[in-house]
Amino acid sequence: MANRPTIKDVAREAGVSPTTVDRALSGRSVVREETMRKIADAAHKVGYHSKGIFLSRLDKPLPELRLGFVLLKKSQQFYSDFATHIEAAISERHDYRITSDIRFSSSQSPDEFTDLLKTLGRRCDALACTAVNDPRLNRVVQDLKDKNVPVVSLLNDFAQGIRKNYIGLNNMKIGRLAGWMITKTVHQPGKLAIFVGGNRWHGHDLREVGYRSFVRESDLGFTVLDTHVNLETRQVTYEATLDLLQRHPDLRGIYIAGGGLEGAIAAVREVHSTPTVAWIVNELTAESRAGLIDGYVTMVISTPLKELCRTLIDQMIQATTEADDGVSGQMFLEPRIVLPESF
């Protein structure tokens, strides 16, 4: 009498491990639909006695979720990359059928952010957004919360006490890290500068506080100039950087706490053929990478987007499937530090 086919026979025919077949059979954990189909076909070919179980798992409908996201300007590489990582994190989930709706704000206007949140809130189960701090956004997030649509704040912690979670970097620590690097890199006392995206970015405020406090505590003879607001735009940053370089010959370092670094790097290249000022910037893009390689940028503090997006999707699913405990949380991720020798 021929031996009955085993899990090992199914695994060999499907080109997967016996452990994967066992997980598909038991239902203890999620197996991708494509893999499940291979296993079902293999079970049929080898005549495995429990092949009907695999087919029933395939026929089981997945719960559906619609998730909405609001990011800043799509023309900025960082946010374009952010959207790509969101889609990738969603594609890795095989326990839910998730539809994403990603929108981009063209400005820092609170009204534009509120309009986007309202629009997505009418059609999505949960939202995630990077936005400015403003009372109008607080009201919208509260309205969404009342309608059981949780909101996660990204990178900048807006609507504190109302939003479900914050996911991003510890911005105070990021500012102190920038201050530490500049004071360790520059060996002559002089002037230091800082750019922030705007007055409504609480995360940028925290970075500025951390930066200034570390420089002050270091007591190495550095003076931090008045803060420059660049609206995270290339042209404003370019013009302000040219002005700084011309008015302060003893300028030793600059920290860009938000966007606009492309304009700053362009200005420095125009004025100095070789690096003379220490630069700390946020986020690894084509421009900051080139600046590192050429020696104009000292360090890049980068958000781990892949990890952030996986964590974000987990949190959004959890927020829609579990009862609201009324607790607003914070999740700080470790930044990726990129130096010229990283390449």
pLDDT in tens, 1-57: 457 888 888 889 888 888 888 887 776 666 777 787 788 888 888 888 766 676 666
Task: Indicate the range of 50-54, 160-164, 193-197, 245-249 predicted with least confidence.
Answer: 50-54
Burial per residue of 173-202, b for 16 or more beta-carbon CB atoms within 10 angstroms, e otherwise: bbbbbbbbbbbeebeeeebbbbbbbeebbb
Give pLDDT, residue 29: 63
CA distances from 137 to 116, 125, 144, 237, 315 (A): 11, 18, 11, 27, 21
Question: Which residue spans of the chain are classified as CATH 3.40.50.2300?
Answer: 64-168+304-333, 171-302
Q: Of 258, 336, 245, 340, which is closest to residue 296 (Cα–Cα)? A: 340
Q: What is the pLDDT of residues 69-93, one digit of tens each?
A: 999 988 889 999 999 999 999 988 8
3-state secondary structure of 71: strand
Q: What's the pLDDT score for residue 40? A: 80
Averaged pLDDT, 189-207? 95
CA 254, CA 306: separation in Å to the nearest integer? 28
pLDDT higher than 60, residue 196: yes
pTM for the structure as a whole: 0.82
Comma-separated ranges of CATH 1.10.260 domains in the chain: 7-59
- pLDDT of 283 > 80? The answer is yes
Give the model's pLDDT for residue 325: 76
Q: What is the pLDDT, as a whole number, of residue 59?
A: 60
Task: Give the architecture-level CATH label for domain 7-59.
Answer: Orthogonal Bundle (1.10)
For residue 271, pLDDT over 80 is answered with yes
- CA–CA separation, 39 vs 54, rounded Å? 7
Residue 94: pLDDT band by 50, 70, 90 thresholds? confident
Task: For 206-235, give the DSSP string.
Answer: HHHHHHHHHHHHHTSS-EEPPPEE-TT-HH
* Average pLDDT estimate for 124-131: 97
CATH hierarchy code of domain 64-168+304-333? 3.40.50.2300
Q: What top-level class would CATH report for the domain 171-302?
A: alpha beta
Average pLDDT over residues 256-267: 91
The pLDDT > 70 percentage for the chain reads: 95
Strand ranges in 64-115 using DSSP code E only, listed in sequence order? 64-71, 97-104
Q: What are the phi and psi torsion angles at 298 (to 5°)?
A: -85, -45
**What integer pLDDT is reported at residue 1 of this predicted model?**
43
Look at residue 54 in the predicted model and tell me its pLDDT: 67
**Average pLDDT for residues 192-196, to the nearest whole number?**
97
pLDDT value of position 97: 87
Looking from the CA of 178 toward its CB, the CA atoms found within 13 Å total: 35
- Calpha distance 7→48 (Å, rounded): 8
